[in-house]
Amino acid sequence: MEEKILGVLGGVGPLATIYFADLVVKMTQAQTDQEHIAMVILNHASIPDRTAYILDKTKPNPLPVMIRDAKVLEEDNCSYIVIPCNTAHYFYDEIQKSIGIPIINILEETVSYCEKTIPSLKKIGILATEGTIKSKAYQNIIEKHSLECAVPSEEDQASLMNIIYNQVKAGREVDIFEFHRIIGELKKQGCDAVVLGCTELSIIKKDFGIDRPDIVDSMECLARASILACGKKLKEN
C-alpha cells in the first residue's frame, strides 16, 4: 500500500501548527516510528492575518500566499492537505480549486464529530475569531446539518478576541475564568455542545487539561480525520 503523506499548510498560527502535529503523533496507534504518518509541515508564519482581511478588505490578502503554499505541498507529493486554522477556511474553496489534492475541512469534520458524539444534539455554540463568526463559516455548515447555532454576545466576543490575540498568540497568561464564563453563557442559551472553533483555543484546552465531552476541540477533530484519511488507526483512548 502506497504511503499517504499529509501536507500541513501552517503558520496560521505557528503555535497551533506545532500543536496539531503533536496531536497527530499522540493520537495515532503506532508501536514504531515507521507506523506514524508522514507529514510535510510548512510553518509559514508571515502569512497575513486572516481575521484582519475578512473584516477589512484593504488589509493584506492571505489567499495568494496560501495558494502558493498549497501548491508547494502538492508538488511535494502530499496526498492530503490540512489547514490547522478555522478562520483560514474562509478561503477554503479558492485554495481547493487551485490544487488537485483534497483539503480536509476542519469545519465539516468538527460539526460531523459533534453529531456522532453528542446525544440528542440540537444546538451548537461556537467560540471562534471575529473573522470566523462574521463570515458565518460555522453557521452555514451547522445549518446544512439541520442544527441550531449560537455565538457569543458582542461583549463576550470582544473578550474572547482578547484571549486569542493578546493572551494565547502573545504567549501571555490566559484568563481561564473568563474563558469558562464565556462557555457558560453559551450553555445558558441551550447549547448541547460548544465548539472550540479557533486553534488557539485548542491550546487552552490542552494547557488547562479541560476534559468535557460537551466542549469539542476542532483541532482534535482535524487530527482524527487526518489519521484516518492517511490509512492509520486512532489510539483507543
Q: How far apart are CA 215 and CA 86, in angstroms?
A: 16
Active site residue 198: yes
| CA-closest candidate to residue 43, choices 5, 83, 92, 101 | 83
Would you say 150 and 186 are in contact if contact means Cβ atoms under 8 Å apart?
A: yes
Q: How far is CA 56 from the centre of its chain?
A: 22
Please give the Cα distance from 11 to 45 (Å, whole number): 4
Maximum C-alpha span of the chain: 52
The one-letter code for the residue type at 124 is: I
Looking at 85, 114, 149, 221, which residue is catalytic?
85
Active-site pick, 78, 149, 191, 198: 198
* CA proximity to 19, closest of 200, 163, 167: 200
Beta strand pairing status for 5-10 and 38-43? parallel
Cell, residue 193 = 455542545
Both ends of the chain: CA-CA distance in Å? 26
Is 230 among the catalytic positions? no
Q: Which residues are catalytic?
A: 85, 198
